[in-house]
């Protein structure tokens, strides 16, 4: 059975090779990013060939599960649909044309290195067989898609024989239950969508500029931290660290003997900035240093394998807004580190610029989704 997403999604989900394509017939688009602790939405319209910001909003999911703001949730589709309706209403969303992100935690991304120069026509037979080595569930329970990574040009005069050639393929596997869940949410909210997209590709679209060196994208979520190495717009490596923003809050609450709500306030107020409250700073920094340690190991292995240095680090996700994180990241990586600023690809009133620059990392996925149909 052919499990490529192009075939399974007769409603129009693009293959990865077409992930940057857009439907130019649409003049409005709504990007929907459903995270584990919040839902973010961004509505754009196309005017004179440019993407114009119409509205955006965020709503915490904790209260919908009788939990505190900032808590990681596991809500039913009915509750998620209601939360989505609420944030759309509060944000004055007017369009029904939407694009929804598939979270990285509900999918698997990996690279296959296949010997020889394999014709694309043979990949639908080969990839499901090779993918079984990486996917911990029966292959029939997932939808597969893939992209052949363009080979780098050889140095002048270098000759490679057939035995040295390899076909590098980026493979994505998404559990069918996840796809059904998100279709159900769309149905319950009466939104129209001709596509889904993995959040990593939305992040790339909104954050990526053409750099000559590889880029490290770190997505600080509530439950996990995802990081990917991007080169020429292509995901070269992707990993997940089992630590997120909620872990920092829990550690503060446990160490200081305060409630989750109070710990969340302390985390947001102090973060890892040098301040009068060194206890909160040191507790929060332990989690960040744990994440950076894992990232450093992967980056070092990548640089050694490909003999290339990472040129820049881009921080995305709501957890990236932790006070002091940017300076600490610069100190750790010793290279340029910036926040994602996805709104720079849109037009908005000048008075909103300072607010949008600060909130950019949190809306990186939602903006990238909306840009998909308008760019």
Q: What are phi and psi of 198, to 5 degrees?
A: -70, 140
How far, in Å, CA of 365 to CA of 34, rounded?
A: 10
Strands (E), the chain: 28-34, 38-47, 50-60, 98-102, 107-115, 142-148, 166-175, 196-198, 215-220, 225-231, 234-241, 312-316, 336-339
How far, in Å, CA of 362 to CA of 341, rounded?
A: 10
**Neighbour count for residue 163 (Cβ, 10 Å):** 8
Q: 245-256 vs 260-270: helix axis angle to the nearest 10?
A: 110
pLDDT of the residue at 10 = 29
pLDDT of the residue at 361 = 94
- The set of residues, in sequence order, having a beta carbon less than 8 Å from that of 133 and lying 6+ positions away, is none
How far, in Å, CA of 138 to CA of 158, rounded?
A: 42
pLDDT of the residue at 107 = 84
pLDDT of the residue at 13 = 34
**pLDDT (tens place) for every residue of the chain, 375 residues total:** 334 344 333 233 333 333 333 444 468 999 999 999 999 999 999 998 889 999 999 999 999 999 999 999 999 999 999 999 999 999 999 999 999 999 887 888 888 888 888 888 899 999 999 999 999 889 899 988 888 887 765 444 454 555 567 888 888 899 999 999 999 999 999 999 877 888 999 999 998 877 778 999 999 999 999 999 998 888 888 899 999 999 999 999 999 999 999 999 999 999 998 776 789 999 999 999 999 999 999 999 999 998 999 999 999 999 999 999 999 999 999 999 999 999 998 999 888 989 998 999 999 999 999 998 886
pLDDT of the residue at 5 = 44
Tokens of 237: 């490596």
How far, in Å, CA of 117 to CA of 99, rounded?
A: 35
Q: What are phi and psi of 304, to 5 degrees?
A: -70, -40
CB 59 within 8 A of CB 91: no
**Neighbour count for residue 52 (Cβ, 10 Å):** 15
CA nearest to 223, candidates 241, 196, 202: 241
Q: What average pLDDT does the structure give for the chain?
A: 87
Tokens of 230: 């991007």
Residue 3 CA, chain-centre distance (Å), reads 23
Q: 176-188 vs 77-90: helix axis angle to the nearest 10?
A: 50
Tokens of 62: 């904790």
pLDDT of the residue at 356 = 92
Note the pLDDT tens digit of each residue in 52-95. Answer: 999 999 999 999 999 999 999 999 999 999 999 999 999 999 99
pTM of the model: 0.87
Domains, in order of start, for the chain: 5-207+341-374 (3.30.420.380), 212-339 (3.30.420.40)
């Amino acid at each position: 059975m052919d499990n490529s997403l192009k075939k399974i999604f007769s409603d129009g989900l693009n293959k990865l090779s077409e992930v940057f394509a857009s439907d130019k017939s649409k003049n409005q688009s709504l990007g929907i990013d459903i995270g584990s602790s919040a839902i973010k939405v961004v509505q754009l319209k196309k005017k004179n060939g440019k993407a114009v910001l119409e509205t955006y909003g965020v709503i915490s999911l904790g209260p919908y599960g009788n939990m505190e703001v900032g808590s990681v949730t596991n809500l039913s589709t009915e509750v998620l649909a209601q939360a989505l309706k609420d944030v759309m209403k509060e944000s004055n969303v007017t369009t029904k044309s939407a694009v929804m992100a598939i979270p990285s935690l509900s999918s698997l991304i990996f690279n296959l290195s296949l010997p020889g120069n394999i014709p694309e026509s043979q990949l639908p037979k080969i990839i499901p067989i090779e993918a079984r080595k990486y996917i911990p569930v029966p292959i029939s329970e997932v939808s597969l898609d893939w992209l052949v990574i363009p080979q780098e040009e050889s140095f002048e005069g270098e000759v490679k024989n057939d035995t040295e050639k390899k076909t590098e393929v980026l493979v994505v596997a998404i559990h069918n239950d996840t796809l059904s869940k998100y279709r159900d949410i769309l149905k319950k909210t009466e939104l129209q969508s001709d596509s889904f997209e993995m959040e990593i590709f939305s992040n790339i679209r909104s954050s990526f500029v053409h750099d000559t060196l590889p880029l490290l994208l770190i997505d600080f979520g509530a439950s996990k931290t995802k990081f990917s190495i991007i080169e020429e717009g292509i995901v070269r490596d992707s990993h997940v660290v089992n630590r997120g923003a909620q872990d920092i809050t829990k550690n503060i609450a446990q160490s200081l003997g305060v409630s989750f709500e109070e710990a969340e306030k302390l985390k947001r107020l102090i973060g890892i900035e040098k301040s009068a409250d060194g206890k909160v700073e040191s507790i929060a920094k332990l989690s960040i240093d744990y994440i950076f340690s894992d990232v450093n190991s992967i980056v070092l292995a990548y640089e050694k394998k490909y003999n290339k240095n990472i040129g820049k680090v881009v921080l995305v996700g709501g957890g990236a807004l932790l006070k002091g994180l940017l300076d600490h990241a610069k100190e750790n990586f010793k290279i340029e580190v910036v926040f994602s600023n996805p709104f720079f690809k849109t037009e908005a009133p000048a008075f909103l610029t300072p607010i949008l620059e600060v909130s950019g990392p949190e809306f990186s996925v939602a903006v990238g989704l909306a840009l998909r149909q308008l760019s």
